[in-house]
Amino acid sequence: MNLFKRMRELGFEVDGFTLSGLIAASCDCIDLIKQLHCFSVSGGFDSYSSVNNAFVSYYSKSGLLKDAVSVFYGMDELRDEVSWNSMIVAYGQHKEGAKALALYKEMSFKGFKIDMYTLSSVLNAFTSLDHLLGGRQFHGKLIKGGFHRNSHVGSGLIDFYSKCGGREGMSDAEKVFREILSPDLVIWNTMISGYSLNEELSEEAVKSFRQMQRVGHRPDDCSFVCVISACSSLSSPSQGKQIHGLAIKSHIPWNRISVNNSLISMYYENGNLQDARQVFDLMQERNVVSFNSMIKGYAQHGDGTEAFLLYQRMLDSGIAPNNVTFVAILSACVHCGKVSEGERYFNTMKETFKIEPEAEHYSCMIDLLGRAGKLEEAERFIDAMPYKPGPVAWAALLGACRKHKSLALAERAAKELMVMQPLAATPYVMLANMYADAGQWEEMASVRRSMRGKRIRKKPGCSWIEVKKERHVFVAEDWSHPMIRQVNEYLEEMMKRMKEVGYVMDKKWAMVKEDDAGEGEEEMRLTHHSEKLAVAFGLMSTRDGEEIVVKKNLRICGDCHNAIKFMSKVAGREIIVRDNLRFHCFKDGKCSCGDYW
């Protein structure tokens, strides 16, 4: 911009090319673009289509869709292929897939030439619409035209299938990938990203990352972001650490900030809050995401105080919170029962920051109130929220009812859930347990009958632990782990010692699965919950001082929570368990959640 001013002072002629270059250089600076726009109109440059096209594109990139639209429609007969392409991209960037597709149809109807730019942008529109069928049909057309091997179209297809393809999405993506003769770095990254977005394929993300290096590509910052985020859900701390080392060695150029952001969540997801904080502290530059990630880390570990401090520090450093910040901070309140703080943040969000609370924020509030025992307020909240309460909201309420033994409200919440998620086992299991707890055996039996009638089965509990850089999986009442016999023996021995120091098994957590279980059977089932097995395996195969981090797919059960407290005491070890809601750090017979969960 300074150069531009000098140029004019020195009397040089400004032409369309100068302007287009300038517009590109002022991306993200809204004032500059607006200034240039005024200048170009007053100088008559708005008769060049290239100048207008540049404005369409860069207004959109700066978040000003409306201005892009008005330039586009103001162009009339000046509109060329590039204008149409730019506008389709602009709609895609703002998640207006339907408008992008309409524009594509109009464009072809009017006889404009469709090129690779158009095709890859249209694919993007299908992705933003999550329109599997439409995208699939479009894929067919691309094959007929022989465009599917083009690298931009190819990565667009991979991205589309990995995001919209559902369960089989990645295998469709793999098919596209195999068709491409020499995949470039972006195509590899798209594959890695796809695997990391499909949580159960995280391991494939890492394999793919290694394979990419083997065939001679140097990973860039984007490759690292994708593979590190895959490591977050992998529950394999050593894998994540290794890739962190690799990232440091490869001197990734520009955007170190997003790499660090993904490292923060990778570390706290693996139970290592200290290393997450260290990454955060060492960053030279941070953005909203950095703070959000770190706050979320503290929230999941139940450290409200540190989360609040960080929030304050974020404001002090001039970074504005966004909707995600408030999900993180509210969930911190949920996990440590800070009701009045939560209410305050909820109001601040609306009043000070003018952020409209979304369904997630309401669910957090319901969770917060309910868990704290304010069931009536929680119910009022769910009835008054401006969205149709979704499964997350009802599940939060149901969880609260279970905790505070409110059968009537639980029945309502469970009923709603059963309608919304007809195949989910949770509402049935919860209700049955609550009836059993209250001694209402007939009601319990009826819930179980209807569950069986609908062929709904409880998802088996699954726990993971990494020992000596190897991942081990334990499934409740499953004997397939090669060392399961030794684990059971160890566990039995440990149970004896635990009982000596006061552990009493709480049998109400033995979920009655099929028919009546006999006395001994309940005990056996509880003993073989996956988290107990994984913890026992961790204890017997590591030495004092080594960390034990177990990850579980479901919520930790009450008896296991109590048992692991005793295990930490009897073995004199620190044990970290991450269930699907938060972290529990057991030490000296106590849990970091303070039994508030």
Partner DNA sequence: ATAGGGTTAG
Q: How many CB atoms lie within 10 A of CB 341?
A: 17
Which CB atom, from 221 or from 306, has the smaller least distance to DNA?
A: 221
Site for DNA in 464-493 (CB under 7 A): none
Cα–Cα distance measured from residue 139 to residue 142, given in angstroms and rounded to the nearest whole number: 5
Q: How far is the CB of 153 from DNA (least distance, A)?
A: 7
Cα–Cα distance measured from residue 381 to residue 97, given in angstroms and rounded to the nearest whole number: 34
Query: Does residue 62 touch DNA according to CB under 7 A?
Result: no
Enumerate the H helices of 319-358 as residue ranges.
323-336, 339-351
Q: Which of 40, 236, 239, 292 binds DNA (CB under 7 A)?
A: 292
User: Among 322, 341, 321, 323, which residue's Cα sits nearest to residue 332?
Assistant: 341
Cα–Cα distance measured from residue 124 to residue 117, given in angstroms and rounded to the nearest whole number: 11
* Residue count, binding to DNA (CB under 7 A): 72
Query: Does residue 21 touch DNA according to CB under 7 A?
Result: yes
Q: Which of 85, 426, 463, 530 binds DNA (CB under 7 A)?
A: 85
Cα–Cα distance measured from residue 332 to residue 394, given in angstroms and rounded to the nearest whole number: 20
Lookup result for tokens 């120091």 = 501
Two structure tokens written together for 46:
């708005």
Site for DNA in 427-456 (CB under 7 A): none
Q: Is the dihedral of CA 532, 538, 544, 545 positive or negative?
A: negative
Q: How far is the CB of 426 from DNA (least distance, A)?
A: 13
Query: Does residue 57 touch DNA according to CB under 7 A?
Result: yes
Which CB atom, from 55 or from 566, has the smaller least distance to DNA?
A: 55
Mention every residue, 6+ apart, whose C-beta is less than 8 A from residue 102.
none
Mention every residue, 6+ apart, whose C-beta is less than 8 A from residue 305.
none
Cα–Cα distance measured from residue 173 to residue 161, given in angstroms and rounded to the nearest whole number: 5
Which CB atom, from 223 or from 406, has the smaller least distance to DNA?
A: 223
Which CB atom, from 59 or from 537, has the smaller least distance to DNA?
A: 59
Q: How far is the CB of 458 from DNA (least distance, A)?
A: 20
Which CB atom, from 213 or from 450, has the smaller least distance to DNA?
A: 213
Query: Does residue 117 touch DNA according to CB under 7 A?
Result: yes
Which CB atom, from 206 or from 225, has the smaller least distance to DNA?
A: 225
Which amino acid appears at position 121 of this protein? Answer: S
Q: Which stretch binds DNA (CB under 7 A): 13-21, 96-104, 235-243, 270-278?
A: 13-21
Site for DNA in 194-213 (CB under 7 A): 197
Q: Which of 328, 398, 414, 434 binds DNA (CB under 7 A)?
A: 328
Q: Which stretch binds DNA (CB under 7 A): 86-94, 397-405, 423-431, 434-442?
A: 86-94
Q: For DNA, what does the binding mask look like between residues 23 and 42, x meaning CB under 7 A?
A: -x------------------
Q: Which of 360, 466, 531, 559 binds DNA (CB under 7 A)?
A: 360
Cα–Cα distance measured from residue 210 to residue 227, given in angstroms and rounded to the nearest whole number: 10
Q: For DNA, what does the binding mask look like between residues 120 and 139, x meaning CB under 7 A?
A: xx--x---------------
Mention every residue, 6+ apart, whose C-beta is less than 8 A from residue 53.
20, 80, 82, 83, 86
Query: Does residue 235 touch DNA according to CB under 7 A?
Result: no
Site for DNA in 253-272 (CB under 7 A): 255, 257-259, 261-262, 265
Query: Would strands 462-467 and 470-475 be described as parallel, antiparallel, or unpaired?
Result: antiparallel
User: Among 341, 411, 412, which residue's Cα sits nearest to residue 382?
Assistant: 412
Q: What is the CA radius of gyration of the chain?
A: 28
Q: Which of 155, 406, 433, 568 binds DNA (CB under 7 A)?
A: 155
